[in-house]
Structure 1
Amino acid sequence: MPLDQLFRIASTVVLVGWLALALAPLKRPAMVTTARLVAALLCGGYVAIVGHALATGPAPSGASFMTLDGIASLFSSRTALLGGWVHYLAFDLWVGSWEVEDAPRARVPHWLLLICLVLTFLAGPAGLLLYLLVKAARRR
């Protein structure tokens, strides 16, 4: 399957998980489970993409996890770039599912959680940081 098509599929499928999280107050456990199933599906896609990349040839010249230039070389491959994108989709969704699961215990209202989820969707670590700050502020 062409990489562009895999990109579109992954980028669309992940929206099902985020929609479930946005609708979490309706049936929180079921919505968290839905999001986590989508994340698991994306994890399977990631493994398939990376497995395919490893099986079809050597890494680009200079590819390494040890230097910034090595990372740049690694992601010069469209297959590796797609793998990285799917990695982000899966992990950000998983973090969002944790935020939704944790919010009732942390007494974070859903309207405020939605802001954290949007930021987690768009800029994962920034959204997680916002959630952790909101959670800490709600404890006081």
Structure 2
Amino acid sequence: MTPEWMFSLASFTAMAGWILLAAGVALNNALLRDLVAGRIVPALLAAAYAGLITLFWAGSAGGFDSLDNVARLFANPWLLLAGWIHYLAFDLAIGAIIARRTFDEGLPRLALIPILPLTFLFGPVGWLAFEMLRALARKSRSTATA
């Protein structure tokens, strides 16, 4: 098993999770949206991350105390892969939370069309867009009730 092979497997797994999340949103299927895409697939990715950290962290050069040390840490392809899987797992988990809250809070489902791809591609930007949508919805509701 090579880092490149594991990169492909992890990326495929995350993409499958995003497709299942989109299907869960489109079909209003909480099982797909919340359990499979929101918990099971991120848990699989998290397990792979934990395994990589366990196997390759000890004795590696670098750390988190400076940008230069982060670059040294990620010079190890196995730890770079772990970092990539970290992003994949968290972005999918956040995307599933965004989708669930959209339904739970009665926000417009159409807003997920730009927000979920933003979360998939640029994690925090998608989350920020969602938080802005929530703020606008709260303001709109408070204005409507006044």
Q: TM-score, normalised by structure 1?
A: 0.91
- Aligned equivalent of 2:144: none
Matching of residue 28 in structure 1 with residue 29 in structure 2: yes
How much does 1:97 deviate? Answer: 0.7
- Aligned mates of 1:137, 1:15 — CA distance in 2: 30
Structure 2 CA distance, aligned partners of 1:66 and 1:28?
A: 43
What is the identity, as a one-letter code, of the residue corresponding to 1:20? L
Structure 1 runs not aligned, ≥5 long: none
Deviation of 1:22 (Å) = 1.1
Give the % identical residues.
Answer: 35
Cα deviation per residue 1:31-66 (whole Å; 9 max; x = unaligned)? 2211120000000000111112136xx212xx1211
Aligned to 2:42: 39
Within 2, Cα distance between the matches of 1:106 and 1:114?
17
Give the RMSD, CA atoms, in angstroms.
Answer: 1.3
Aligned length: 136
Query: Does 2:53 correspond to 1:50?
Result: yes
How far apart are the structure 2 equivalents of 1:27 and 1:133? 23
What secondary structure, in the 3-state scheme, does the structure 2 residue paired with 1:115 have?
helix
For the Cα contact (< 8 Å) 2:43–2:89, is it kept in 1? yes
Rg larger for:
2
Aligned to 2:97: 98
